[in-house]
Amino acid sequence: MSELPSEILNIVYKHLSDKDVLQCALTCKRWKEIALPHYCNSLSIDFSQVLQTKELLQLDPSERDRYFQYGTFTKKIVVHRDDDYSLWYDFRDTFVHYTKEEWIQLLKYLPNIQVLDLFETRNSLKYMEYILNCTESDKILHKIKTIIVADTKSQMGGTKVPNDIYFAVCYKYHATITTLEVEYDSKSFNYGPINGDMLTMLYHFNNLTHLTFNNSCDPQLTTFDIMDAFPHLVSLDYKSEHCIPELIVKNILGDDTNRKRLSNSFKYLHLTIPTVSTHYADYLKDYVAPHLNVLKLTIHNMEIFDWVERFGLYNAVEFLRSLSKVKTASISWEHQEHDDRLINTIPESKATVFFTLLNAMIRNENMRCRAEYDYESAHESLSVTPDDLLYFNYSLKESDYYLPLTSQDFEQEYSVILPVQLSIPNRSTSIIGPEVIHHVYVSLDDTHPNLPLEILRYALVNCPNLQTFRCETSGKINHTISLDVNPKKGNDIVKSIPNSINATKAQINVIMTENIVPSKEMMCLFHQYLPAAEKLMCLLDDSTFPPAEMFEMDLTAFMYLNSVLLDVQLFDADDQNTAFLVIQFSDKDWEYYHLWGDDMDLTVTKTTLAQMTDRISNKEYGDVRKAVIQCRKQVKFELISNRSRMIEIYDGKISKLDEELFMELGYSFLF
């Protein structure tokens, strides 16, 4: 082992934890010399390390140097968890931070730092001020590339660092800084010893490769200006409250060949702007998209259909088609609030327009599509990934799934509930429709009783290539329907199903509902479109869900069903703690079970029809309910209560799953 080449050891150390690298360093002198650069590469300092290094920094220089002799190997330093909540109780009153002298001395011992991460320290502002006011700047941070802090916009992190202080410190080391975030809210900059014209100062960052630029003051600024300033740029995240000036872009596209060209190093562009004008879209399409690895576009304060109306459907399709050729590309429209306006100027329906845009993003016939419909989100988006996944997020509005009431309905003073029907594209003009969707996720804040069923019907009827489905509707009670595929072992039974509607959809074999007692109509949909169903789960995830007046399911049509997971609280009256389960097998006698449970236990015993009838009919016991399930003899029943106990019924035998094993599984049967 001692003869392993250093190249091999370096590869091994890169894949080991710090603890394992340290063990290797203790093996022998040769391994130590190779291991220490890996072990010391990143230095993480929490409150305990602050206390420890503060003591070391107070030592005599000759002794102190010995403790920091490997500081030259450190490329990254992270200061974190030094707030009051992270301290041991005995240290709550301890002042845990470096003084200016200690901080500067520590940085001197770490001359090769490239990344300084102060995002999660409560002392970040203090440490940044130390650096800014340091009179020995030439002795610290010689190779600094990135400084990370929590700015005033950060939702998390440590102490917020004002943008002026952050930029002033970065400008102090502009010769080596490669990553920078700029708040361009004033054309001039003046903080402490650092001042000047902002754009002129930016030209001094000669080695900048990654830039985040937030423009809130200059309506004439363009991304061309930024690219001119930073010829080595690899990524640009540009946010602006102003549109890219159309006239300036038009002139550049017509005359300036050099400014249209991109550096070969430029690979990532994220734009957040009010809209995309025609000429700027041409620039992105013809000169930017063909050379990038990642292109993200966010159009804020505008809805997708307003953008299409202004931009033109044909232009929008051509633009999105160019985006689809980028390895990772996305476009999203973020608006302030829901807008139920109908499109009057565009002759096609909203669904037709959206699927037309979606079709433009399909780069090949092998792409898989994931659809997310969300009522709470205020944006729509389309995106593609390198592994040929197509995602879209659609902000559902009531007009998308509620049909308007008739005049007669209005005369009844809204006594009629709005009918539910999700809109589909006009197939006489739309090339594609929901059949391209493989994964559907729907989240709606709506209590309409038929909504989950109708969304399920929409997906099963219109999405023949469906692989997974999840619908969540929330209100006073949350309702969930989920469909998924559990990996199979051995021969795939789907191959033996001759009449399945679609080979992909036929592979769905797990059905789950939460706070829903499946109706006959819902079970008919499951049977018609999911012939390979093997597991049915009816769960309770809301203690306010009232028990069903009648719980009956006929599962005999499901040929391959072998497991039913049932939460007994779905039909167990809250004040009774007792209920009955009736199982009618298609080729054997009925079985009757008495279920009793409380917050601590669930007990299942066999009973008879007479005993069950007597107990239910005797009103002295209150409202005792039952569940009646018809199925084939191979079905195993798993009964749970309060999601903490499970009783198994199979072939007339009752067994209890080991409590510890059940908790270790952690509901691994759920997805």
Distance CA 157, CA 80 (A): 9
416: confidence class by pLDDT, cuts 50, 70, 90 = very low
Residues near 259 by beta carbon (within 8 Å), at least 6 away in sequence: 224, 227, 228, 252
What pLDDT was estimated at residue 644? 64
Which of 534-543, 567-576, 595-604, 631-640 reaches the highest mean pLDDT?
631-640
Domain, as residue range, for 604: 531-665
What's the average model confidence in pLDDT over 585-614? 85
Query: Comparing 575 with 423, which gets the higher pLDDT?
Result: 423
503: confidence class by pLDDT, cuts 50, 70, 90 = very low
84: confidence class by pLDDT, cuts 50, 70, 90 = low
At 60, which helix (H) or strand (E)?
Answer: none
What pLDDT was estimated at residue 412? 47
Distance CA 221, CA 215 (A): 8
What pLDDT was estimated at residue 20? 58
Q: Is residue 465 part of a domain?
A: no
Percent above pLDDT 70 for the chain: 80
Domain boundary among 334, 365, 396: 365
Distance CA 378, CA 396 (A): 9
Q: Is residue 479 part of a domain?
A: no
Distance CA 223, CA 236 (A): 9
Paired strand residues for 214: 183, 239
Q: Is residue 407 part of a domain?
A: no
* Per-chain mean pLDDT for the chain: 83
Distance CA 250, CA 132 (A): 43
162: confidence class by pLDDT, cuts 50, 70, 90 = very high
pLDDT in tens, 9-46: 555 555 555 665 555 555 665 555 655 665 567 788 88
Decide if pLDDT at 195 tops 70.
Answer: yes
What's the average model confidence in pLDDT over 439-444? 93
What pLDDT was estimated at residue 499? 40
Which of 152-166, 209-223, 535-549 reaches the highest mean pLDDT?
209-223
Q: Which two tokens stand for residue 318?
A: 């051509």
Distance of CA 320 to the CA centre of its chain: 23
Q: Which two tokens stand for residue 339?
A: 């807008």
Domain boundary among 330, 345, 365: 365
Q: Is residue 549 part of a domain?
A: yes
Q: Domain tally for the chain?
A: 2
What's the average model confidence in pLDDT over 447-462? 89
3-class DSSP state for residue 288? helix
Structure-token match 């602006």, residue found: 240
What pLDDT was estimated at residue 4? 61
Beta strands 653-656; 328-334: pairing state: unpaired
Decide if pLDDT at 455 tops 60.
Answer: yes
Distance CA 296, CA 332 (A): 8
Distance CA 26, CA 3 (A): 16
Query: Comparing 570 with 337, which gets the higher pLDDT?
Result: 570
pLDDT in tens, 290-327: 989 999 999 988 889 999 999 999 999 999 999 999 99
Out of 68-72, 73-77, 491-495, 635-639, least confident range: 491-495
397: confidence class by pLDDT, cuts 50, 70, 90 = confident
Q: Is residue 420 part of a domain?
A: no
What's the average model confidence in pLDDT over 469-490? 83
Q: Is residue 604 part of a domain?
A: yes
Beta carbons of 201 and 171 less than 8 angstroms apart? yes
Domain with residue 227: its CATH number is 3.80.10
Query: Comparing 130 with 543, which gets the higher pLDDT?
Result: 130
Out of 193-202, 217-226, 400-409, 560-569, least confident range: 400-409
Distance CA 320, CA 361 (A): 6
Q: Is residue 319 part of a domain?
A: yes
Decide if pLDDT at 348 tops 90.
Answer: no
pTM of the complete model = 0.81
Distance CA 156, CA 643 (A): 34
What pLDDT was estimated at residue 458? 92
Domain boundary among 305, 330, 365: 365
At 352, which helix (H) or strand (E)?
Answer: helix 350-360
Query: Comparing 178 with 429, which gets the higher pLDDT?
Result: 178
Q: Is residue 502 part of a domain?
A: no
At 514, which helix (H) or strand (E)?
Answer: strand 510-514
